[in-house]
Structures are given as C-alpha cells and as structure tokens.
Structure 1
Amino acid sequence: MNQSDINQFIQTYQSLNKDNLAQLADIYHPDINFIDPLHQVEGLAELTGYFASLYQNLVSCEFEIQAQLWQANQAALYWQMQYQHASLNGGKSVRVDGCSHLKFTDGLVIYHRDYLDAGAMLYEHIPLLGSAIRFVKKRASQ
C-alpha cells in the first residue's frame, strides 16, 4: 500500500454513484470484508449489491476527506458525508462525521470498517422515531 492506493480509494468514493458501482472493483479486493453500523458484508459481489441498495434512493451523496493517517498496510480516513434522501429529514441534506479503518493487500482494500453515529446518519431523520431518539439524547445529557 502506498499514497497512490489511498488517493485512488478517495477519488473513487468522491465520484461514486448508482451508475458507476463497477468502479468498486478498482479499489476493493474480491474477498473484501466491509462493516458499518448497519451491515457486514463479505465479498465484492455482496458489497456491490449492498451499495446498489444504498444508492438506489439517494438523491446525492458526497464525501469530504478531512484527514488521513496511514502506516504499512493500513489507513484511517476521517470524513464528513453529506447525503440527501427523499424520505429522510424532509428531503433536506444530512451531514455525518465518521472515519474508516482500511486494510490493504496487493494495493486493494480487503478490510473496511466505518465508524459513525447511526442515529445521526439515519434514525434521527425518520419521522416519529427521530423525535424519540432526540428526546432520549437530550434526557441522557442532563
């Protein structure tokens, strides 16, 4: 792994959409293990299917990389995602901060784990459920 592998990963994510998911094969190993707060998938075909379902109802999705750390065959990317989904947050944009732990083999990502607040990303923007989650968060902070 080197800086160009990380740069290719970032460039791919910043241009990714429902019409170019075949580009995932340019950055992910066929045996990819992908984990986020909502799912865990194994293998490139399963990952591509997962992304297809994610992107299906998105109006837009953008990643801004804010920092990156790397050593040997690992990297950590700190990012802010801004997305828009017609059924969430009244169709308005949502911003979520997160980070990704990546492990590379042969220049491709074989392990990808995202760390982010699933409530801030999804649950807080679902009608009724969002109000309940915000209420619980407010009470917990008192």
Structure 2
Amino acid sequence: MSGSPPTTALGDAGDFLRRFAYAFAALDAHNLQRLGELYSADVLFTDPLHEIRGLPALRDYFAQLYAHVSDLRFDFHGFDAVRKGEGYLRWTLRFSHPRLNRGRAIQVEGCSHLLWHNKVHYHRDYFDAGALLYEHLPLLGRIIHWLKGRLA
C-alpha cells in the first residue's frame, strides 16, 4: 500500500501544536474574533501576571494587550507533544511598549503548556515576569539590575 505512514496520536498532538502556534502568531488587534477558533468557551489562561477564565475575558485581555503594545510578535521554535491532547510550545516574544524600556523592543523567552480536546481549554504561560515587565520600569528596573549584579 502506498502513501504516507499512519499518524500516531503523538504525531497528531505535534500537528495540533504547529497549527495552533501558526494561528496564534497570526493574531493581532484586528482579528481577535479568531480566538474562538483556538480556545474553548471555558478556557483557563494563566501566566505569571494573570488568570483569565472564559473566552470573553480572554478576548478582552488580548484587546487590552494589543491596544498598549506595538510590534508584538511570537516566534515559536519548539513543539513538544507529551501525549494526545497535551503539549508544550517554546517561544520568543518581541514587543514594544511606550512606557517600558524607553519604547525600545523587549524580547522574552517563554513556554506554554496546553491541554486541548478540539480546542485549547487550558493554556499556561511560563516566562520571567521581571524580564517582561519589571526590569524595564524606570526606577524598579535599576534596582533589579543592581540586585542581579550583586547576586551574580
């Protein structure tokens, strides 16, 4: 029999992660209605700074995010399937915010843990909140850099 080999459950998970990452990276302030294609109505989204429950609240969160930043971009570079319906994405976030880092670009490495059936119902982001936010605030940033220097 010719053709491609059958896809395993883990291969399906890897395919899901790639499709999700591609669609997520294409999001912007003008197409947030597409979040419903990626996330279930009862989604739980958490990161070091937020916990958001439900698709309407997630849309509001992303609308606020895109309203305050510019040049926001996710580059995905790791797609690690654990089992059917579970996996991790490794990524680099790049963005600019007028009140952070004097408006210059900020880059942060992170990882997302996803659980899904047909759509993602659990999304937890792991990243260094200091590298994302605190280190780029005028006064607090100087203190954090000083502390890091003292600890190194």
Q: Is TM (by shorter chain) over 0.5? A: yes
Corresponding residue number in structure 1 for 2:75: 64
The Cα shift of 1:8 comes to: 2.6
Count of paired positions: 140
Provide the rounded CA distance (Å) in 2 between the counterparts of 1:96 and 1:2: 25
Confirm whether residue 91 of structure 1 aligns to residue 103 of structure 2: yes
Give the corresponding residue for 2:148.
137
The reply to whether residue 101 of structure 1 matches residue 113 of structure 2 is yes
Which residues of structure 1 form unaligned runs of 5+? none
Mapped to 1, the partners of 2:31 and 2:14 lie a distance apart of 23
Residue identity opposite 2:18 in structure 1: N
Query: Which residue of structure 1 aligns with residue 56 of structure 2?
Result: 45
* Runs (4+) off by over 4 Å: none
The RMSD of aligned alpha carbons is: 1.2
Contact residue 59 and residue 85 of structure 1 kept, 8 A: yes
Q: Does residue 111 of the first structure (1) align with residue 115 of the second (2)? A: no
* CA displacement 1:6-37 (0-9 Å, x = unmatched): 23311222111111111110100100000001
- Contact between 2:47 and 2:126, CA under 8 Å: does it hold in 1? yes
- Consecutive unaligned residues of structure 2, counting only runs of 5 or more, are 1-11
- 1:7 to 2:22 alignment: no
In the alignment, the residues of structure 2 paired with residue 48 and residue 42 of structure 1 have an alpha-carbon distance, to the nearest angstrom, of: 10
Summarize deviations over 1:44-91 as a string: whole Å, max 9, x none.
001111111111111111111111111211010011111111111111
Partner of 1:20: 31
Aligned to 2:9: none
